[in-house]
Copies of this chain bind each other. A is one copy, B any other.
Amino acid sequence: MAPQHTEFVKRNEHYVSSFGDKGSLAMPPAKKLIVITCMDARLDPAAHLGLKEGDAHVIRNAGGMVKDELRSIVISQRLLGTREIAVFHHTDCGMLTFGPSDLPAIVKAAAPGDAAVAARVDAIDFLPFKDVEESVKVDVAWLKSEPLLLPETVVSGWIYDVKSGRVSQVA
């Protein structure tokens, strides 16, 4: 497959030509909201939540795990005024497909005898989970007990269904 980045400038043209007055948007999110969700390719959080440019910080990683993102959350709250966090995990997530030792084993098998690789991969907690609703509740509870979170933060927990596009609240 040819590299995708060679097409970025061309694919960007339509957006640039219809950019309108978005260049005047302020840096702080208008809705004072952080959405944390998975990197999964099937998710378009702006589209499925009806968010426009300027509305919300969107943080994404494998699974939508809050524990990787304390740096970003503190910056968002303390410098840019957000006061609400919505955590989304989703059905059919890749995080449901492996156990704690699987990724270290895969990485080490691809670089046999490489001690630097082994040490580096063993240092990572890959944060797999077995139940989507439970994982949302765990992440919401983690946020609510986090000393660096502003106490007035409104935290909610959600599941996105990749088969229907529907969101539903679970925490």
Contact with B along A141-171 (1 / 0, CB 8 A): 0000001100000101010001111111100
* Given A68-B72, A126-B71; A158-B42 close (CB under 8 Å): no
Roughly how many angstroms separate A55 CA and B51 CA in the complex, as a whole number? 20
A23 vs B163: C-alpha distance in the bound complex, in angstroms? 4
Query: For A4, what are the chain B residues with a Cβ–Cβ distance below 8 Å?
Result: 31-33, 56, 84, 86
Question: Which A residues between 30 and 73 are near B, CB-CB below 8 angstroms?
Answer: 30-34, 39-44, 46-51, 53-62, 68-72
A50 CB, min distance to chain B CBs, angstroms: 3
Q: A75 and B103: CB pair below 8 A? A: yes
User: How far is A19 from B163 in the complex, measured between Cα atoms in Å?
Assistant: 9
Residue of B nearest to A29 (CB): B41
> Would you give the 0/1 interface string for A1-14, flagging 1 where the beta carbon is closer than 8 Å to chain B?
10111001101101
> Do B120 and A22 touch (CB < 8 A)?
no
Report the separation of the CA atoms of residues A30 and B78 in the bound assembly, to the nearest whole angstrom.
Answer: 37
Chain B residues with CB below 8 A from A58, complex form: 39, 41, 43, 60
Would you call B53 and A42 a contact (CB within 8 A)?
Answer: yes
Query: 24 A-B residue contacts at CB 8 Å?
Result: A1-B31, A1-B32, A3-B84, A4-B84, A8-B158, A8-B169, A9-B167, A12-B50, A12-B165, A12-B167, A15-B165, A16-B165, A16-B166, A25-B41, A27-B92, A28-B41, A39-B58, A41-B54, A41-B56, A61-B68, A68-B71, A74-B124, A79-B97, A120-B148
The 6 A-B pairs with the shortest beta carbon distances in the complex, nearest first, are A11-B50, A62-B72, A29-B41, A19-B165, A23-B163, A5-B156
